[in-house]
């Protein structure tokens, strides 16, 4: 098929590239001319494992192209996929200005009947109807068209495998022809295709992310109680996760969730509920817990090292999760701000997110020094704090770390180490919701 994908962020670029890899003719569109020029030169504006090679391969094969001219490619395409950003407004409501602008341009260039417009952006319930009305108004109603909801369920760091081997595909359409046409795109990938009405499909996306965010905040609450009573949250989560009704995934205590999806989507669902006069108490609590979790990690740091005035804290990890350079809503930003507010200094290392971190940290008005390696970050620091669970941190030479730090202190915000092992090396060690050791058992 001839496809247009509007937006070259994580969702748009990965979606377009994967559809091209399956043999479709795909043109990705973005208003950012600099980004489009970079993509046409084979340079990828985001970090996603395997994506750069896949983009270059499909571009070389003539199946994938990039442009800023949306009107031209709308006229040439059978299916137009809207994958633009929908960031949170100060109210928590999703900002649909980009979706509206794209819908208007599509309407003005609707030159043949039965084109299919797919909403893949994460949008509130009812957006499909809004897009339909905008396209009707701009096109004059001369050509019939179909608007379908097809939410994405991609995880940053695993987006290609999630695209090519999805656990389910949701298609929301009030028209059987359009639903079947979109389903045919996915049948080569999976048999797990759910076809429903458009409103339900829009609700499914928010429900999925809200449930995952809830699991994270719930296990963090359990971790906080475990700290108080002396229990081990890892043992609790392992046993609870063996229940097939609960599942172990996302029951990982830590410093909270971040990224472009969970914070934004929980806010948007709370706002949608409020518009209909409903107070979503559970999600409000989920947000509150998540906002407090990085601060609990800071309290653990204070418990081990006391006043942070003039002290250097080595920070391992800046991105909100491993295998991405995404700094949006990253817990590291809250932790850095907390350390600096106490007069401390931060020396940070992240294997991938350095460049995006520089921009995001500057945007927040914070000052951080960056180390070239994880060991350089520790050299002469008063403590080490782990914020992102990159694999290389799990495999670190802790004896070397101990020799580099002024004092052998670790705050493990992602529970990547065994407490007994770390304390056995002579560290003062705190983690999230596991038996805490404020003093080493020996001097190493």
pLDDT in the model for residue 141: 85
pLDDT tens column, 161-194:
999 999 999 999 989 999 999 999 999 999 999 9
pLDDT tens column, 76-99:
999 999 999 999 999 999 999 999
Predicted structure pTM score: 0.91
Give the Cα separation of 275 and 319 in Å (integer): 33
Contact (CB, 8 A) for 111 and 72: no
Residue with tokens 């973005």: 30
pLDDT in the model for residue 347: 98
pLDDT in the model for residue 437: 52
pLDDT in the model for residue 1: 85
What structural domains and CATH numbers belong to the chain? 2-196 (3.40.50.720), 234-444 (3.40.50.720)
| Residues of the chain with confidence (pLDDT) below 50 | 438-444
Neighbours of 290 (CB within 10 A): 23
Give the Cα separation of 3 and 205 in Å (integer): 23
Give the contacts of 421 (CB within 8 A, at least 6 positions apart): none
Contact (CB, 8 A) for 1 and 25: yes
pLDDT in the model for residue 436: 59
Token readout for 434 is 């596991």
From the candidates 18, 28, 226, 261, give the one annotated as an active-site residue.
261
Q: Look up 261 and say whether it is catalytic.
A: yes
Give the Cα separation of 225 and 370 in Å (integer): 35
Give the Cα separation of 203 and 196 in Å (integer): 11
SS3 of the chain: CEEEEECCCHHHHHHHHHHHHCCCEEEEECCCHHHHHHHHCCCCCCCCCCHHHHHHHHHHCCCEEEECCHHHHHHHCCEEEECCCCCECCCCCECCHHHHHHHHHHHHCCCCCCEEEEECCCCCCCHHHHHHHHHHHHHCCCCCEEEEECCCCCCCCCHHHHHHCCCCEEEECCCHHHHHHHHHHHCCCCCCEEEECHHHHHHHHHHHHHHHHHHHHHHHHHHHHHHHHCCCHHHHHHHHHCCCCCCCCCCCCCCCCCCCCHHHHHHHHHHHHHHCCCCCHHHHHHHHHHHHHHHHHHHHHHHHHCCCCCCEEEEECCCCCCCCCCCCCCHHHHHHHHHHHCCCEEEEECCCCHHHHHHHHHHCCCCCEECCCHHHHHCCCCEEEECCCCHHHHCCCHHHHHHHCCCCEEEECCCCCCHHHHHHCCCEEEECCCCCECCCCCCC
pLDDT tens column, 194-247:
999 999 999 999 999 999 999 999 999 999 999 999 999 999 999 999 999 999
Distance between first and last Cα of the chain: 64
197 CB burial (10 A radius; 0-12, 13-18, 19+): middle
Which sign, positive or negative, has the C-alpha torsion 154, 156, 157, 160? positive
């Amino acid at each position: 098929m001839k496809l247009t994908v509007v937006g070259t962020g994580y969702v748009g670029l990965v979606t377009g590239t994967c559809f091209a890899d399956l043999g479709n003719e795909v043109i990705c569109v973005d208003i950012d001319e600099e980004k489009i020029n970079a993509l046409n030169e084979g340079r990828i504006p985001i970090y996603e494992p395997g994506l750069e090679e896949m983009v270059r391969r499909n571009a070389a094969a003539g199946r994938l192209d990039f442009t800023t001219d949306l009107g031209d490619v709308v006229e040439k395409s059978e299916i137009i996929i809207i994958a633009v950003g929908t960031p949170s407004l100060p109210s928590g409501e999703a900002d649909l200005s980009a979706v509206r602008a794209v819908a208007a341009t599509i309407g003005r260039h609707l030159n043949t009947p039965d084109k299919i417009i797919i909403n893949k952006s994460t949008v509130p319930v009812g957006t499909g109807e809004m897009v339909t009305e905008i396209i009707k108004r701009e096109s004059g109603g001369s050509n019939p068209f179909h608007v379908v909801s097809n939410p994405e369920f991609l995880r940053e760091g695993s987006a290609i495998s999630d695209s090519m081997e999805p656990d389910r595909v949701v298609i929301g359409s009030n028209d059987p022809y359009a639903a079947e046409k979109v389903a045919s795109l996915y049948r080569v990938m999976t048999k797990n295709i759910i076809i429903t009405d458009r409103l339900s499909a829009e609700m499914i996306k928010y429900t999925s992310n809200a449930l995952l965010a809830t699991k994270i905040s719930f296990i963090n609450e359990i971790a906080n109680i475990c700290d108080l009573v002396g229990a081990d949250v890892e043992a609790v989560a392992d046993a609870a996760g063996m229940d097939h009704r609960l599942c172990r995934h996302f029951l990982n205590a830590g410093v909270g969730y971040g990224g472009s999806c969970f914070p934004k989507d929980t806010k948007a669902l709370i706002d949608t509920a409020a518009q209909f006069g409903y107070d979503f108490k559970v999600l409000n609590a989920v947000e509150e817990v998540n906002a407090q979790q990085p601060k609990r990690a800071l309290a653990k740091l204070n418990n081990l090292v006391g006043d942070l005035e003039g002290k250097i804290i080595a920070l391992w990890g800046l991105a909100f999760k491993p295998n991405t350079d995404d700094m949006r809503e990253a817990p590291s930003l809250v932790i850095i701000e907390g350390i600096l507010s106490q007069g401390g200094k931060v020396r940070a290392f992240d294997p991938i997110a350095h460049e995006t971190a520089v921009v995001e940290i500057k945007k927040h008005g914070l000052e951080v020094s960056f180390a070239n390696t994880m060991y350089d970050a520790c050299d002469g620091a008063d403590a080490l704090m782990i914020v992102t669970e990159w694999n290389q941190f799990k495999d670190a030479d802790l004896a070397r770390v101990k020799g580099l730090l002024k004092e052998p202190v670790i705050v493990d915000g992602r529970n990547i180490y065994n407490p007994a092992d770390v304390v056995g090396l002579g560290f003062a060690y705190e983690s999230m919701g596991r038996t805490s050791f404020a003093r080493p058992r020996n001097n190493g």
